[in-house]
Amino acid sequence: MNQSSNAPAPVILTIGGFDPSGGAGIAADLKTFAAHNCYGVAAITAMTVQNTQGVSALFPVDSSVTKECVTCLLADGRVKAVKIGMLANRANAEVVREFLDSNASLPSVLDPVIRSSSGTNLVDAAGLEFLREHLLSRVQVITPNRDEAAALTGLKIENIEEMKTAAQKLIEMGARAVVVTGGHLDKATDVYLDGTELQTFVADRVKPDHTHGTGCTFSSAIAANLALGRQLRDAVVLAKAYVTEAIRKAYSTGPGRLPLNHLYRMQQTPRLADHTPVIPEPVH
Ligand code: PLP
């Protein structure tokens, strides 16, 4: 990332839900893109009401608004990759299918968001069915966690072997590449399958309270690395390293499930306080 400060950053479109607590959804995506020196733009599919303790309400955005927003952002002609997250319902999923059909060569990551860890459904049954039937096969890679992979395949998944079987089944169902994430395991182990190559990636399980929005952040980091021109496997490896470090550097923002520190890389440089600019006295 040797871009000078004025060099144009790749633009990435995220389509998903807004989490006002900033840990998941669009807010997490935009911070993750920024952390990768990419520029994020967003089309919102749903407004959620949530804090670290869970989701208390969900208001889907009318799909005509989602569509108009996607069309408007694309009209600027700079989008280099897309990340798709929470869809809320079938109408928004249909907008995404249309978008993917007209932008088939764009690097694309689908995080098949089904339910929050606190137990709220983030897509309705018709939306999930549409996602399974029409979206899995239209993106470059999907990144289900264990529960999402189980819901999509109908398989029971409790260990790494069952994650591998689910990844294989998702490929048979039409996915081009799959990462089944296993943050629930003793070691955070992800199963990667791109159709031919099957690999497992292992990381330490750090700070188990800081897992709110990990799926959103991981998939966004993959999209950012693809937008920067990296190959899929490398993008996945780098995204996992980024998520692990963002968890390690996380701090508390509330009493519940806590967010990652998406911008930890910026905090490695000296803090603003060390470089306080001299503010000129007002001239009267
Ligand atoms: N809110 C939004 C908008 C999301 O997209 C997601 C997950 O993808 C969540 C909430 C749930 O996040 P978690 O289960 O990590 O709390």
pLDDT at residue 279, as a whole number:
76
pLDDT tens per residue across span 197-214: 999 999 988 888 888 999
Does ligand 1 have an atom closer than 6 angstroms to the CB of 25?
A: yes
pLDDT of residue 277: 67
269: pLDDT confidence band, cut at 50, 70 and 90? Answer: low
Pocket test for ligand 1, best of 113, 120, 210 (most atoms within 8 A of CB): 113
Q: Report which protein residue has its CA nearest ligand 1's atom 16.
A: 212
- Cβ–Cβ under 8 Å, residues 83 and 219: yes
- CA–CA separation, 97 vs 100, rounded Å? 5
Residue 24's Cβ-side half-sphere holds a number of Cα atoms within 13 Å equal to 32
Residues in the chain: 284
Q: Is the pLDDT of residue 1 over 50?
A: no
What value does the mean pLDDT of the chain take? 93
Determine the distance separating the centroid of ligand 1 and the alpha carbon of 212, expressed in angstroms: 7
pLDDT in tens, 123-133: 999 999 999 99
**228 close to ligand 1 (CB < 6 Angstrom):** no
Ligand 1 centre to CA of 23 (Å) is: 8
Out of 50, 83, 86, mutate this one to test ligand 1's pocket (max ligand atoms within 8 Å of CB): namely 86
pLDDT at 212: 94
Confirm or reject: Cβ of 22 under 6 Å from ligand 1.
no
Nearest CA to ligand 1 atom 5: 25
What is the distance, to the nearest Å, from the Cα of residue 58 to the centroid of all Cα atoms in its chain?
Answer: 19
| C-beta of residue 152 within 8 angstroms of C-beta of residue 170 | yes
Buried b (16+ CB within 10 A) or exposed e, 123-145: bbeebbebbbebbbebbbbbbbb
Ligand 1 centroid to Cα of residue 169, in Å, is: 25
Q: Which atom of ligand 1 is nearest to the CA of 85?
A: 5
